[in-house]
Structure 1
Amino acid sequence: MEGMRLRIFTEPQQGASYDTLLTVAKATEDLGFDAFYRSDHYLAMGDSDGLPGPTDAWITLAGLARETSRIRLGTLMTAGTFRLPGPLAIAVAQVDAMSGGRVDFGLGSGWFEEEHTAYGIPFPKEKFGRLEEQLAIVTGLWSTPQGESFSYDGKYYSLKDSPALPKPAQDRIPVLVGGLGAKRTPRLAARFADEFNVPFASLADTETQFARVRAAAEEHGRSADELVYSNALVACVGKDDAEVARRAAAIGREVDELKENGLAGSPAEVVDKIGRFAEAGASRIYLQMLDLSDLDHLELIADQVQSKLS
């Protein structure tokens, strides 16, 4: 599994302050993980009260950009419905500069209607067409040579004579596209993505979706191997059965379900399952960490799982 990288993925809408996220991000860096990612949501899901309340993804990452020095920083996924593409391109480029060029940009269509209702955000019926235009605009603004302007006349968004500033610190901010859609999602990845992510899916569904994306890339005139392929999976690792059960209970999940649908069990079990995703083509795994107070969990994964992957 040489080349497999583990990234830490958090869901702050379930309840986390900026200080909590900072603590986890610093542990992520200190323990040798590859990146710290967060979701982009404004409302808790399920039984969580979400206290102390939501934090904004890009404001969080801006703060972490100044508090960390090595890890990549990104979103799975920025909600396209939350922001206009022009201001979003400015914000992400600024965070990239603040981090010294360590930002990855995951963009999705947005889907959770209740959070839009709760915070007065329009929830359009046609989200996928908007996502396609947003990706074209954001990447177009970043790639426009300095001193030239960018214009775009789309169905949903129009820009005229934009100076296309500021520029990111990186020559190209890596763009992530993800999902399980059979046709439009692979085509979108083929056009815009540096990385394709399969969220919370089985090994069989992962293999199917990776194959679709690889085929779409080739049809678009790209080598399928130009893209990085990755998975997001919930993590629940313990040194023994009792510890696994305790960590599962802490996040309101059943051990057997987690073993079926996530990365759960002993370190050896989890290393074995990661190996199967690696065989399917994944080279990055985003570990969804749902109990952000359990830093011992991160240490165990770093010591007993990550160390076995190189």
Structure 2
Amino acid sequence: MDLRIFTEPQQGASYETLLSVAKATEDLGFDAFFRSDHYLPMGSADGLPGPTDAWITLAALARETKRIRLGTLMTAGTFRLPGVLAIQVAQVDQMSGGRVELGLGAGWFEEEHQAYGIPFPKDKFARLEEQLAIVTGLWETEAGKTFSYEGTHYQLTDSPALPKPAQAKLPVLIGGHGAKRTPRLAARYADEFNIPFASLEDTATQFGRVRAALTEAGRGEDDLVYSNALIVCVGKDDAEVARRAAAIGREVDELKANGLAGSPAEVVDKIGRYAAVGSSRFYLQVMDLDDLDHLELISSQVQSQLS
């Protein structure tokens, strides 16, 4: 079971804070550091000191870390032109020595688009499909050849399709709860399917849809990594769990119902139940980025039981 640390910097985090979390992620033996791609906070958070850009952050962390994988859950397709995104991700992959993964989604948070003057089209999913075709097509184009694409939303003519990622196959993550189009896209383009903030029952249902789509597309059901993203709140005892829940403005019972919360034993047990329906990787959504002791506890008492 891979455990990855997943951060939401739009809620309030400087680059220095993210660097501290990424270094702890590496030092404590976690598999990867991932971050969201948002420009406005959600809920009651003030978001101070202000947003950080996902790919600028990951470029810096690529030079500051040595082992951990780096990526996004999920890069908003509305934020970047696909040709530019392919260049950015390939460059960061080179900077990291081949440790980058791209999670790409359609984008959904309309208010952040309004706040920063970013177009918010109605046909986001159709655009996402073209974006995936372009990004993967550019990377897969043989060196010395060109890539062209004629779509409804994007057109590329004789692109040199450079630079290339350091990895021969840079992993692409697709995720979500959609019943039809999302599994189909995953079957066509993804190396990993992620379902965020889902119950055991919903996870099993969605993984089943993806497996069916893989079969229909002529791929094996086990061609993908299947993963979950859930908020995490672990404590040595009830008092510590309650303290950590209060620090992020949540209730313990709600966190236990909808996330990975409680004692290390409780969390290990719940992860095991998700593993039974096919999940082999967890993105642990850590909301208090100043509480590095939380990561140490997860490493020593949860991760140690799963390896």
- TM-score band w.r.t. shorter chain: over 0.9
Partner Cα separation in structure 2 for residue 275 and residue 104 of structure 1: 25
Structure 2 distance, partners of 1:23, 1:111, is 29
**Deviation string, structure 1 residues 260-290 (Cα, Å, up to 9, x no partner):** 0000000000000000011110010000000
- The residue type equivalent to 2:68 in the other structure is I
Following the alignment from structure 1 to structure 2, what is the Cα–Cα distance between the partners of residues 248 and 156? 44
Give the TM-score normalised by structure 1: 0.99
Q: How far did 1:5 drift? A: 0.6
Segments of 5+ residues of structure 2 without an aligned counterpart are none
Q: Give the drift of 1:146.
A: 0.4
User: Is 2:146 aligned against 1:149?
Assistant: yes
For 2:279 and 2:98, how far apart are their aligned partners in 1? Answer: 24
| 1:167 correspondence with 2:164 | yes
Instruction: Report whether the alignment pairs 1:76 with 2:76.
Output: no
1:195-274 mapped onto 2 (5 Å cutoff): 195-274=192-271
SS at match of 1:171: coil
The residue type equivalent to 1:139 in the other structure is T
Q: Using the TM superposition, give the Cα deviation of residue 78 of structure 1 relative to its aligned residue in structure 2, in angstroms.
A: 0.1
What is the aligned counterpart of 2:16 among 11, 16, 19? 19
Provide the secondary structure at the position in 2 that maps to 1:121.
coil
Shift of 1:32: 0.1
> What percentage of aligned pairs have identical amino acids?
81
Partner of 2:155: 158
Counterpart of 2:99, as a letter, is: R
The alignment's C-alpha RMSD in Å is 0.3
What residue in structure 1 maps to residue 56 of structure 2? 59
1:46 lines up with 2:50 in the alignment: no
* Cα distance in 2, alignment partners of residues 277 and 105 from structure 1: 23
**Structure 1 residue runs of 4+, over 4 Å off?**
none
Tell me, in whole angstroms, the C-alpha distance in 2 between the residues paired with 1:224 and 1:177: 15
Specify the alignment match of 1:113 in structure 2. Answer: 110
Residue 252 of structure 1 and its aligned partner are, at CA, apart by 0.5
Amino acid aligned to 1:178: G
Task: State the number of aligned residues.
Answer: 307
AA of the residue aligned to 2:46: D
Shift of 1:158: 0.4
Q: Which residue does the alignment assign to 1:307?
A: 304
**1:177 Cα deviation (Å)?**
0.1
| Number of the residue aligned with 1:186 | 183
The question of 1:138 aligning with 2:135 is answered yes
